[in-house]
């Protein structure tokens, strides 16, 4: 789960990371009021969306008066901001963060991530901040500092000092950097985060180290331990299909293809998508219904896949171990009788109670396309989709 910049800054400040003064606004008038309330001569207005690259896309503006703030925010609210991370559809701007401008001497990149290879938290930093880490790695690989944290002892002060020295931090400011690093690490570990990124972390003209921007991502599976973090979720920034799936206990990732996938198990889902691609098609989603594939759960999965207007065929691929093929078959039949399905449905069942499942499908009287192997199922799904596509093209031509 991602959160907004202003939320990440509030979380990090609670762990001792210093941030500039700022306030949230939901309207141009409120944004101007927030600036007057903070005082000062210059402010930065930042669109709050779950994506990077806001500055280049016009989502970050420096303003010199409350009148200018109101004009800038009037142009932001309701607009869809398109960055290199949002895709062409962009993300809607429904709130802005008004922050006091600070004099910047240096910009630094700082990130905390899970390194799957070493099974450790890795700190990635660079003296070249203000740009994407991929660009820094490509343009100035020697500037990147890496350090892993031993889980048994946590992040030690000597490690923080080493990082500070490698980044060229002045001796008089090293202790500030130590507090910043340890605060980020504590937030990362105590809140079950999967990423903390501050870009840029700035050194100001009055020798302070401030988080000028912040991003945090959290492990969805651990949110039950942190209700205060779960409450920060903003569904307006998420794919609505994925939000609906999460609310129904389903794992769903929307893709750009036309063949919907209903599968149990992440590994089988990946294999199914690969096989569809090999057969000449393109998957419309990754949907894992998990171990409890009850008829009701399968019916929910059908409704979710069909809510995507791009779906022109559905492939159900179930390998029943914990599941039962007869349950899945009942769910497919129930869904097709309750939900209007105007696309071909291909079903491949294997495993526990497969004979009973196949019998239920055969006796249902529904226009299902059955398959016995994954390759056969993928080929029939692509064939049915192409046939349906050709037919619709002929109808439009007539």
Q: Which residues contribute to the annotated binding site for Mg(2+)?
A: 199, 213
**Catalytic, out of 109, 128, 242, 379:** 109
Cα 89 to Cα 16: distance, rounded to the nearest angstrom: 37
Annotated binding-site positions for substrate: 264
Mapping DSSP to helix (H, G, I), strand (E, B) and coil, where does residue 386 land?
Answer: helix
Cα 292 to Cα 295: distance, rounded to the nearest angstrom: 9
What is the 8-class DSSP label of residue 79? -
Nearest residue to 298 (alpha-carbon basis) of 288, 309, 313, 310: 288
Question: Residue 289 contacts by C-beta under 8 Å, 6 or more apart in sequence?
Answer: 250, 262, 263, 264, 297, 298, 301
Cβ of 394: how many Cβ atoms within 10 Å? Answer: 9
Question: Residue 249 contacts by C-beta under 8 Å, 6 or more apart in sequence?
Answer: 290, 297
Long-range contact pairs involving 177-181 (C-beta distance under 8 Å, separation at least 24): 177/209, 179/16, 179/17, 180/16, 180/17, 180/18, 180/110, 180/209, 180/211, 181/110, 181/123, 181/155
Annotated binding-site positions for ATP: 46, 53-55, 99, 102, 107
Number of residues written out for the chain: 398
Cα 348 to Cα 383: distance, rounded to the nearest angstrom: 15
Residue the block writes with tokens 């989603």: 285
Question: Residue 173 contacts by C-beta under 8 Å, 6 or more apart in sequence?
Answer: 164, 203, 207, 209
Annotated binding-site positions: 46, 53-55, 99, 102, 107, 199, 213, 264
Active site residue 109: yes
**Catalytic, out of 5, 128, 197, 312:** 197
Cα 214 to Cα 198: distance, rounded to the nearest angstrom: 5
Cβ of 152: how many Cβ atoms within 10 Å? Answer: 5
Residue the block writes with tokens 């249902």: 364
Active site residue 26: no
- Residues belonging to the active site: 109, 197
């Amino acid at each position: 789960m991602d959160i907004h910049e202003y939320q990440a800054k509030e979380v990090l400040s609670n762990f001792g990371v210093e941030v500039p003064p700022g306030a949230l606004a939901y309207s141009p008038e409120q944004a101007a009021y927030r600036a007057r309330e903070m005082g000062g001569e210059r402010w930065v207005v930042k669109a709050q969306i779950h994506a990077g690259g806001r500055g280049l896309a016009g989502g970050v503006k420096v303003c010199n008066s409350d009148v200018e703030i109101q004009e800038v925010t009037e142009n932001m609210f309701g607009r869809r901001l398109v960055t290199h991370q949002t895709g062409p559809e962009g993300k809607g701007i429904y709130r802005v963060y008004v922050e006091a401008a600070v004099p910047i001497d240096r910009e630094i990149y700082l990130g905390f991530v899970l390194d799957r290879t070493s099974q450790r938290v890795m700190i990635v930093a660079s003296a070249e901040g203000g740009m994407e880490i991929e660009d820094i790695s490509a343009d100035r690989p020697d500037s990147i500092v890496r350090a892993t944290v031993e889980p048994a002892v946590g992040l030690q002060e000597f490690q923080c000092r080493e990082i500070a020295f490698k980044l060229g931090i002045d001796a008089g400011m090293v202790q500030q950097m130590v507090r910043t690093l340890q605060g980020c690490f504590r937030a990362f570990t105590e809140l079950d985060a999967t990423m903390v990124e501050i870009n840029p972390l700035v050194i100001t003209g009055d020798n302070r180290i401030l988080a000028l921007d912040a991003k945090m991502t959290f492990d969805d599976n651990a949110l039950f331990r942190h209700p205060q973090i779960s409450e920060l979720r903003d569904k307006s920034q998420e794919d609505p299909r994925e939000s609906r799936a999460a609310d129904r206990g389903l794992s769903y990732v929307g893709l750009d293809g036309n063949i919907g996938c209903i599968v149990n198990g992440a590994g089988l889902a990946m294999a199914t998508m690969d096989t569809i691609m090999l057969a000449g098609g393109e998957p419309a989603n990754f949907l894992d219904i998990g171990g409890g594939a009850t008829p009701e759960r399968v019916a929910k999965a059908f409704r979710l896949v069909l809510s995507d207007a791009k779906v022109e065929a559905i492939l159900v691929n179930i390998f029943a171990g914990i599941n039962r093929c007869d349950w899945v078959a009942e769910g497919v039949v129930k869904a097709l009788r309750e939900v209007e399905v105007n696309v071909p449905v291909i079903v491949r069942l294997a495993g526990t109670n497969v004979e009973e499942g196949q019998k239920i499908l055969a006796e249902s009287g529904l226009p299902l396309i059955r398959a016995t192997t994954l390759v056969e199922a993928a080929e029939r799904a692509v064939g049915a989709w192409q046939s349906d596509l050709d037919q619709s093209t002929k109808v439009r031509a007539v």
